[in-house]
Amino acid sequence: MATAARAYDSFGYERAYQPSRPDVRVRPGRKQQEQPSMGMWVTAAVIAAAMSLVVALFAVAHVWLDSASVSLSVQAQTVSNDLIEVRHAGSLLEVEVSALSNPARIQEAANALGMISPETATIIKLGEDVVVTNAQGDLSLAGSLKVVARNA
């Protein structure tokens, strides 16, 4: 009977169907305290800071562009004023040239210097080429007048 008793032994039955335990190791120490979750507030703060930075950059760019626009406007106005002044000065110079080149004024200035008009006027008709040069290659007025006198 000994053999039959072993087959129905409750000890063997319990070993065969005993549930396995999970592999858990316990470390000595204290339980860590849970910190309140700041994730949502930190994320909101970072987003707000980034948006503030973007708005600040746009504001700086806007101010810089406005100042550049004003500076260019002032320079354009200065150039426009200079152009008006130069045109006015050019007009005054044209009037002065016209007044100075008036034949009556030139006649009065010549008389004041003691100059008189010639009694007779001589017209010299030049041939094709009466220009004479000297040995150095310079123009010679005397030589040119001699050629004119010979041809006349």
Q: Say if pTM beats, i.e. exceeds, 0.75.
A: no
| Spatial distance between the Cα atoms of 2 and 123, rounded to a whole number of angstroms | 171
Paired tokens of 137: 């290659």
Q: How far apart are the C-alpha atoms of 132 and 125, rounded to whole Å?
A: 16
Q: What tens digit of pLDDT does each residue of 12-36 get?
A: 555 555 566 667 777 777 777 666 5
CA distance 66 to 61: 8
> What confidence tens digit (pLDDT) does each residue in 39-87 have?
788 889 999 999 999 999 999 999 999 999 999 999 999 999 999 999 9
What is the per-residue pLDDT for 10?
Answer: 56
Output the pLDDT for position 14: 53
Least confident of 38-42, 68-72, 119-123, 132-136: 38-42
| 78-111 pLDDT, tens digit each | 999 999 999 999 999 999 999 999 999 999 999 9
Cα 142 to Cα 49: distance, rounded to the nearest angstrom: 94
More confident residue, 133 or 51: 51
